[in-house]
Structure 1
Amino acid sequence: MRRLFWLAMGVTIGALVVRKLSKAVERLTPRSLATGFGAGLAELADAIRDFGDDVRDAMRDRETQLRESTGLDGSATE
């Protein structure tokens, strides 16, 4: 009987602690997520901008190569 009492007491205290911690985390999470979310979006925007810059540079290089190889750059002599 004594063990059952302490088991019930442990389960009850454990449940109360979990509820209190869950509420505390819930109160703090939206603020933390908002800050982390904004920083994540800024980082994503920077990565997309860098990718776009790299693609445009590669396009310009390839266009120059194609113009030179086809003679469309004005350097072809007849």
Structure 2
Amino acid sequence: MFRRTFWFTAGAAAGVWATTKVNRKLRQLTPESLAAQAANKAIDAGHKLKDFALDVRAGMVQREAELGERLGLEAPVDPELPAQRRFAAIDRPEHTYNKHTYNSYNRNEDH
């Protein structure tokens, strides 16, 4: 008698456990749940990408400082020398070509 009760209880517990597990899995596979999981993964990827970009930027600043130090670009300015000048880009006139400004000679008009 105890043997049957034990196996009946074990079977019922296994059935409840399996049903719970299957229902959980089915809820994970609904479109809303899949969309939420994808959004969470995209947000995590965005955070990782931002962290990577910040690390790259910090490395760039550090390397530029090292190079400036080695090349003497960060050295104090000598008062006898003129200040370093930066050249502005040469302004080129915009291309004024359009059909209204050029000579619209049509050789077929003369004939």
Task: Specify the alignment match of 1:4 in structure 2.
Answer: 7
> 1:11, CA displacement in angstroms?
2.2
- Bigger Rg over Cα: 2
Instruction: Using structure 1 for the length normalisation, give the TM-score.
Output: 0.66
* 1:17-68 deviation per Cα after TM superposition (whole angstroms, max 9, x unaligned): 221122112322x222211111111111211211121111112211111112
Instruction: Using structure 2 for the length normalisation, give the TM-score.
Output: 0.50
Gaps of 5+ in 1: 69-74
Higher relative contact order (CA closer than 8 Å, sequence separation 6+): 1
The aligned length equals 69
Between Structure 1 and Structure 2, the one with more helix by share is: 1
Q: What is the letter of the counterpart of residue 63 of structure 2?
A: M
Gaps of 5+ in 2: 73-77, 79-111
RMSD (CA atoms): 2.2
